[in-house]
Amino acid sequence: MYFDPAVSMRPAPFAHSPFKSLIVPRPIGWISTIGKDGVGNLAPYSFFNGVSDDPPMVQFCPNGSHVEGGAKDTLQNVRDTGEFVFNMVGHDMTDEMNISSGPVPRSEDEMVLAGLAAAPCEKVKPLRVRDAAASFECVHVKTVDLPPSRDGSPNNLVIGQVVGIHVRDDVINEQGLIDVLKIKPLARLGYMDYTVVENTFTLNRPS
């Protein structure tokens, strides 16, 4: 079938918009920030990815507004401070990640709410999730104002340069490689579904 998303995102026979189910699996950027008032913040963003290797850069997309109105905390904090931290979500942190996505007041720190231990960063002020398999300290490069949603709510793309990388020692194997099967990264599918990286294969490029 074919459909025009400007006409409907959910034409028959779809029960829900299939869009996000067709961009899968999406890595989850678990983004920690700090407000100009010093309140910490943590939230998952699955419109997230790396965008370059050298220099290393990542992006995430805050879409919509905060429950109290205005920009989502993560976006507002990046606007105010120019810094954020990407934390990797392993399968073992699924519940904490989900708790951190709740519609809580701006004054609430989701890292505390989720019962997570925090650790300081080397070069940026936001705290990182201490037990995450990896955390990237990021400084803001650019925010792109994207076309708004049909209901007028904002869409943004935030790009940051990675200036510090923390890796949990136990996920580095004896060959000096990241043991992804030990991390079991959590990833987002469509609807309310998730997947976990539990198997891999190797494919060399043609020479």
Contact residues for ligand FMN, defined by CB under 6 A: 28, 41, 43-47, 61-64, 66, 72-74, 98, 101, 103, 188
Strand 186-188 and strand 155-167: the pairing is: unpaired
Q: Which is nearer to ligand FMN, 72 or 166 (CB)?
A: 72
Shortest distance (Å) from residue 128 CB to ligand FMN: 16
Q: Which is nearer to ligand FMN, 43 or 57 (CB)?
A: 43
Q: Which is nearer to ligand FMN, 172 or 197 (CB)?
A: 197
Q: Which is nearer to ligand FMN, 11 or 91 (CB)?
A: 91
Please spell the DSSP secondary structure of 63-127, one letter per residue: BSB-TTSSB-HHHHHHHHHSEEEEE--BGGGHHHHHHTTS---TT--HHHHTT--EE--SSSSS-
Shortest distance (Å) from residue 183 CB to ligand FMN: 17
Shortest distance (Å) from residue 147 CB to ligand FMN: 15
Contact 21, 190 (CB under 8 A): yes
Q: Which residue has the tokens 């030990």?
A: 182
Shortest distance (Å) from residue 76 CB to ligand FMN: 8
Shortest distance (Å) from residue 77 CB to ligand FMN: 8
Q: Which is nearer to ligand FMN, 115 or 176 (CB)?
A: 115
CA 174 to mean position of chain CA atoms: 29
Task: Tell me which residue of 51, 30, 19 sits closest to 142, measured CA to CA.
Answer: 51
Residue 42 is encoded by which pair of tokens?
A: 């943590």
